[in-house]
Structure 1
Amino acid sequence: MSTATTDSSGSNPGLNRILSQLSPDYRNSSVGDTESRVNPSSTNRIPTNDNTWINKFYSLDRLFSGSLLHFLYRIIDITLLLVGLMSTKPKCNLSNHLAVTAICLLIFYFADLIIIALFFIRNMTQRNSNLTEEQKLEQLRRASLVRGFFIFFKIVPVCFGTGYSFSSSLPDSNDCELMRFCLGVVCLSTWLIILIPPTKPELPIRRSFLVECFILLFVLIINCTYIGTVANAISNVQNSSCIYNNAEDLYLGAPLKSYAFVGLLLFACTTSIHIINLIINQIYFRLNRQRQFYVYYYGLQYFLNYSGAIIVIYYFSIGGLFLFQPRSGQTCRQYAPDLYRILLIWEWIRILSPLFVVPLLMILCCLGGWRSATPMAMNPNPPATQETIDSVPIVLFGQGPDQFNQTDCAICRTDFESNEELKKLQCGHLFHPECVANWLRITRICPICRQHMSLTNP
Structure 2
Amino acid sequence: MSTSPIDSGESSGGGINRIISQISTTYRNGSVDNTENRVNQSSTNQTTTNDTTWINTFHSLDRIFSGSLLHLIYRLIDIILLLIGLTSNKPKCDLSNRLAITSICLLIFCFIDLLIILLFLLRNLSLRNSQLTEEQKLEQLRHVSMIRGFFMFFKIIPVCFGTAYSFSSTLPDTNECELMRFCLGIVCLSTWLLILIPPTKPELPIRRSLIVECLILLFVLVINCTYIGTVANAMVNVEHSTCIYNNTEDFYLSSPLKSYAFVGLILFSCTTILHIINLTLNQLYFRLNRQRQFYIYYYALQYILNYIGTIIVIYYFSIGGLFLFQPRSGQQCREYAPNLYRVLLIWEWIRILSPLIAIPLIMIICCLGVFFGIILSYCLPASITVPILELLQGWRTAGPMTINPNPPATQENIDAVPVISFKQEPDQFNQTECAICRTNFETNEQLKKLQCGHLFHPECVANWLRITRICPICRQRMSTINS
Question: What's the TM-score, normalizing by structure 2?
Answer: 0.76
User: What residue in structure 1 maps to residue 396 of structure 2?
Assistant: none
AA aligned opposite 1:326: P
The gaps in structure 2 that reach 5 residues or longer are 1-5, 387-407, 420-436, 438-444, 450-454
* Partners of 2:63 and 2:191 in 1: CA distance: 23
Q: Is the 8 A contact 2:213 2:279 kept in 1?
A: yes
Q: Is the 8 A contact 1:64 1:120 kept in 2?
A: yes
- Deviation of 1:142 after TM superposition, in Å, equals 0.6
Identity %: 67
Q: Is the 8 A contact 1:243 1:257 kept in 2?
A: yes
Q: How does 1:324-335 map to 2 (within 5 A)?
A: 324-327=325-328, 329-335=330-336
- The reply to whether residue 64 of structure 1 matches residue 49 of structure 2 is no
AA aligned opposite 1:262: V
- Deviation of 1:289 after TM superposition, in Å, equals 2.2
- Deviation of 1:367 after TM superposition, in Å, equals 1.7
* Partners of 1:385 and 1:169 in 2: CA distance: 60
* Partners of 1:353 and 1:77 in 2: CA distance: 24
- Deviation of 1:76 after TM superposition, in Å, equals 0.2
- Deviation of 1:19 after TM superposition, in Å, equals 4.7
- The reply to whether residue 13 of structure 1 matches residue 19 of structure 2 is no
1:315–1:5 Cα change, 3 Å: closer
User: What residue in structure 1 maps to residue 155 of structure 2?
Assistant: 154
Q: Is the 8 A contact 1:242 1:257 kept in 2?
A: yes
AA aligned opposite 1:241: T
AA aligned opposite 2:95: L
* Partners of 1:13 and 1:79 in 2: CA distance: 34
Q: Which segment is superposed worse, 309-318 or 373-382?
A: 373-382
* Partners of 1:312 and 1:36 in 2: CA distance: 45
* Partners of 2:137 and 2:95 in 1: CA distance: 43
CA deviations 1:305-347 (Å, max 9, x no partner) are 1000000000000000000022353210000000000000000
* Partners of 2:133 and 2:448 in 1: CA distance: 30
User: What residue in structure 1 maps to residue 423 of structure 2?
Assistant: none
* Partners of 1:63 and 1:443 in 2: CA distance: 21
Q: Which segment is superposed worse, 290-299 or 211-220?
A: 290-299
User: What residue in structure 1 maps to residue 284 of structure 2?
Assistant: 283
AA aligned opposite 2:117: I
Q: Is the 8 A contact 2:182 2:322 kept in 1?
A: yes
* Partners of 2:362 and 2:30 in 1: CA distance: 24
Secondary structure of residue in 2 paired with 1:327: coil
User: What residue in structure 1 maps to residue 416 of structure 2?
Assistant: 391
Alignment counterpart, residue 463 of structure 2, candidates 433, 438, 444? 438
1:47–1:234 Cα change, 3 Å: closer
Q: Is the 8 A contact 2:245 2:259 kept in 1?
A: yes
Secondary structure of residue in 2 paired with 1:105: helix
AA aligned opposite 2:215: F
1:113–1:125 Cα change, 3 Å: same
* Partners of 2:98 and 2:448 in 1: CA distance: 71
AA aligned opposite 2:115: I
* Partners of 1:35 and 1:374 in 2: CA distance: 23
CA deviations 1:46-101 (Å, max 9, x no partner) are 27349812111111111111110000000000000000000031111110000000
CA deviations 1:165-222 (Å, max 9, x no partner) are 0113342111000000000000000000000000111223211111111111010000
Q: Is the 8 A contact 2:7 2:59 kept in 1?
A: no
Q: How does 1:89-168 map to 2 (within 5 A)?
A: 89-168=90-169
CA deviations 1:224-267 (Å, max 9, x no partner) are 00000000000110101000000000000000000000000000
- The reply to whether residue 341 of structure 1 matches residue 363 of structure 2 is no
CA deviations 1:261-281 (Å, max 9, x no partner) are 000000000111111000000
Q: Which segment is superposed worse, 216-225 or 38-47?
A: 38-47
* Partners of 1:223 and 1:299 in 2: CA distance: 24
AA aligned opposite 1:146: I
Q: Is the 8 A contact 1:389 1:437 kept in 2?
A: yes
Q: Is the 8 A contact 1:34 1:381 kept in 2?
A: no
Q: How does 1:210-289 map to 2 (within 5 A)?
A: 210-289=211-290
1:117–1:75 Cα change, 3 Å: same
* Partners of 2:101 and 2:340 in 1: CA distance: 35
Q: How does 1:4-83 map to 2 (within 5 A)?
A: 12-14=12-14, 18-19=17-18, 26-27=23-24, 46=47, 48-49=49-50, 52-83=53-84
The gaps in structure 1 that reach 5 residues or longer are 395-410, 412-422
- Deviation of 1:156 after TM superposition, in Å, equals 0.4
AA aligned opposite 2:124: N
* Partners of 2:231 and 2:17 in 1: CA distance: 40
* Partners of 2:222 and 2:192 in 1: CA distance: 27
- Deviation of 1:14 after TM superposition, in Å, equals 2.6
User: What residue in structure 1 maps to residue 403 of structure 2?
Assistant: none
1:267–1:312 Cα change, 3 Å: same
* Length, aligned pairs only: 416
1:160–1:426 Cα change, 3 Å: closer
RMSD, matched Cα: 3.9
